[in-house]
Amino acid sequence: MTANIDNESLDIAKEQLWSEFVKYVDYLDQDGKDFVELAFYQMCDAHGLQRRKSGDFYILHPVRATITLCKIGLDKDTIAGCLLHDVPEDTEVTLAQIEKNFGREVAFLVSGVTKLGTVKYKGDQRYAENLRKMFVTMSQDLRVIFIKLADRLHNLETLEHLPREKQQRIALESLEIYAPIAERLGMGKLRGEIEDLVFPYLYPERYNEFIEMSALEINIRKEQVTSIIENLKVLLKKTHLSYENIHGRAKRYYSIYKKIVDREVDLEKMRDLVAIRIITNEVGECYEVLSMISREFEILPNSTKDYISHPKPNGYQSLHISVLDPATKVPFEIQIRTQHMHEFCEYGVAAHWAYKEGKSSKTQLLEPENLKWITELVELSEAKISDEEYLKKVKLDVFADRIFVLTPKNDVIDLKAGATVLDFAFMIHESIGSKAVMAKVNGNPVKLIHELQSGDMVEILTDKKQTPKPDWLNYVTTTQAAKKIRAILRKAGI
Ligand code: MN
């Protein structure tokens, strides 16, 4: 009797969930939609009457996680993989059956997520071993980590239903491992969401204090922002400048909190507590809007930052300028960027992935092999060091500064901050590194020892008579380049 009632309510939940979910996969073609529909129903059949700790049917969890990835516009294999991500571990359906029904790609993604498993953070010696596996899998296919992040995000959203000790462990792991990975992949939106979700669990007292203190201030700013936006709309119309969208956005709680603690900034003086964003259609319009703003508003001296020609290390691009509210004289930050830059700011590498599926060619693809920090993490995974040492190194590596530079073909190369022209040359290929004589950086001639900055466009000039010299070891900062140079020198008997 009860089973029948349960089955009925599962059927209802399933149909409700599908009608909600189907709206999010509208960007897929018909084949793609059919494919994910099949994955959806097979996932529902597999989990059946299983329930979450919250009392909800289990099927709710994979669907909510998948919606996060649909919003980025990821491909059908990733969507199906995320729907099925808990199936082999928690149900009778095997990985082999998933491979048979959905192909090798989906099976690989699901097995990648499954392998990352449920080992306890810090409470288990196997944790480091697990992390090693994770970076190896990531280096094979970044989509595994997209699914893992979406999975984690939904688990954090429902963390209240878990016992306190488990909450602490999951929250800490999310803050120390997953948030930095998301940041490194340029997925700022996800990073911010993860941090804000764990904040009350990790620092409940400071969180409450902070909410009380900031809520009022943020509300005042929001009102002021609304009036500045109206003002801006009129000016944009008057000057015939076209734009896609203009909106105000409150800074995330945890990042405000960190700024106050780390840099000792007063809440009242924070200019970007609520920022205004103007989204344009093309790059040229960003600069036109910027110059209109500098004409029409009172501007804070030295507040203009051009992250379009000098992107941040994780690829972030935008123009920033701080203006004074004409009525209250309170400073506000305005961020100007194109739609494409905006998507990249929010979704980073994942946005590139989505673009690659659709438009391809012109976008700068960040493939795992170009993300050198992942390769380095894999190399580290294979090194013979203690687990404790490994965890320490990973944290250092994931947090350490990186720069992104461009090849003449617009490929993005990821290097450690402080890397030189010669590091870059060896990163491209050993044959280019060993024949390098000088380079052009943004069109200007420079020496091999020249230190690169994020956003530099680097062209290496080679000479076939060139050979590596012993003092080249002083020109490089990466271990890979040094390793290659030493090997060549050894071979030549130097
Ligand atoms: Mn899950």
Q: What is the mean pLDDT of residues 25-35?
A: 95
Residue 114 reports pLDDT greater than 50: yes
**446 band by pLDDT with thresholds 50, 70 and 90:** very high
pLDDT tens digits, one per residue of 385-427: 666 666 666 665 554 566 667 777 766 677 777 899 999 999 8
Q: How far is the CA of 83 from the centre of ligand 1 (A)?
A: 9
Say if pTM beats, i.e. exceeds, 0.85. no
CB 89 within 8 A of CB 44: no
Note the pLDDT of residue 113: 85
**215 band by pLDDT with thresholds 50, 70 and 90:** confident
**Active-site residue flag, 89:** yes
Note the pLDDT of residue 366: 46
Q: How far is the CA of 151 from the centre of ligand 1 (A)?
A: 5
Of 262-271, 298-307, 437-446, 470-479, the one with minimum mean pLDDT is: 262-271
Q: How far is the CA of 34 from the centre of ligand 1 (A)?
A: 23
Q: How far is the CA of 156 from the centre of ligand 1 (A)?
A: 11
Q: How far is the CA of 356 from the centre of ligand 1 (A)?
A: 26
Note the pLDDT of residue 381: 61
Mean pLDDT of the chain: 84
Q: How far is the CA of 86 from the centre of ligand 1 (A)?
A: 5
Q: Which of 20, 89, 157, 367 is catalytic?
A: 89
pLDDT tens digits, one per residue of 372-384: 666 666 666 666 6
Which has more pLDDT, 295 or 412?
A: 295
Which has more pLDDT, 416 or 469?
A: 469
Q: Which of 20, 45, 90, 157 is catalytic?
A: 90
pLDDT tens digits, one per residue of 116-166: 655 566 655 566 666 666 776 777 788 888 999 999 999 999 999 999 989
Q: How far is the CA of 168 from the centre of ligand 1 (A)?
A: 18
Q: How far is the CA of 90 from the centre of ligand 1 (A)?
A: 10
Most confident segment among 137-151, 279-293, 315-329: 279-293
Residue 263 reports pLDDT greater than 90: no
Q: What is the mean pLDDT of residues 50-59?
A: 93
Residue 363 reports pLDDT greater than 90: no
Note the pLDDT of residue 478: 81
Of 164-173, 231-240, 266-275, 341-350, the one with minimum mean pLDDT is: 266-275
pLDDT tens digits, one per residue of 167-201: 998 998 898 888 888 887 778 889 999 999 999 99
